[in-house]
Amino acid sequence: MASIFGIINEETPKFDLLKKADAGYEIRSYHRQLQAAVTFVGAGEGATTQSGFRNLAGYIFGGNKKRNKTDENDKIAMTAPVMSYNDPKKKTTTMSFILPSKYQYIEDLPITNNEDVKLEVVEPVYSCCASVFWKMDSVIDKHSAKASPGTCAVRQRGQADCGFGE
């Protein structure tokens, strides 16, 4: 299961809207992006989540080194959403921050001071998204990112899919 939370007045990932459902779901094609991520053992609650968030926040708030400089750090703007993915098989949680679009390549990013923070490229993906959160409680299947636009797997209370049928 993936959870996404964030304040929408920050920069958000770029996407193309492919389809919109009356039920409050959209199928989106997200552009390539960079992220900082931390993976930790646990279900993503309590002190473990706080520690993961602190590690990520530490990176963007200056816990890093500018490339090609030995003693300078760099503050990175906050973006939305903050993402969290629980892997029940591995019993781990991965929390990630999408990094601002001004960074196009890993080499553009400051080097992290924390070995737990991994800098990653996220290639373009399709995703089903709840576009109206107050309307429904939804669970987005972790495989939706690899699905084609007509086959996103979203489960909503009492429904088998998000109603896009092709």
Residues 154 and 2: their CA atoms lie apart, in Å, by 11
CB 40 within 8 A of CB 80: no
Question: Cα–Cα distances in Å, from 39 out to 36, 65, 79, 103?
Answer: 10, 21, 19, 22
57: pLDDT strictly greater than 90: yes
More confident residue, 159 or 122: 122
Task: Give residue for tokens 């086959």.
Answer: 151
Can you list the positions of beta strands (E) in 72-147? Answer: 82-87, 92-98, 111-112, 118-122, 125-130, 138-140
Per-residue pLDDT at 121:
95
Per-residue pLDDT at 138:
40
52: pLDDT strictly greater than 80: yes
Question: Cα–Cα distances in Å, from 12 out to 31, 98, 99, 145, 146?
Answer: 11, 8, 9, 17, 20
Per-residue pLDDT at 132:
54
Band (pLDDT 50/70/90 cuts) for residue 100 is: very high
Can you list the positions of beta strands (E) in 31-124? Answer: 33-41, 64-65, 82-87, 92-98, 111-112, 118-122
Partner residues linked to 140 by β-bridges: 2, 154
pLDDT tens per residue across span 131-159? 654 433 343 443 344 444 444 444 333 33
What CATH number does domain 2-156 carry, 3.20.20.70, 3.20.80.10, 2.40.420.20, 1.10.10.10?
Answer: 3.20.80.10
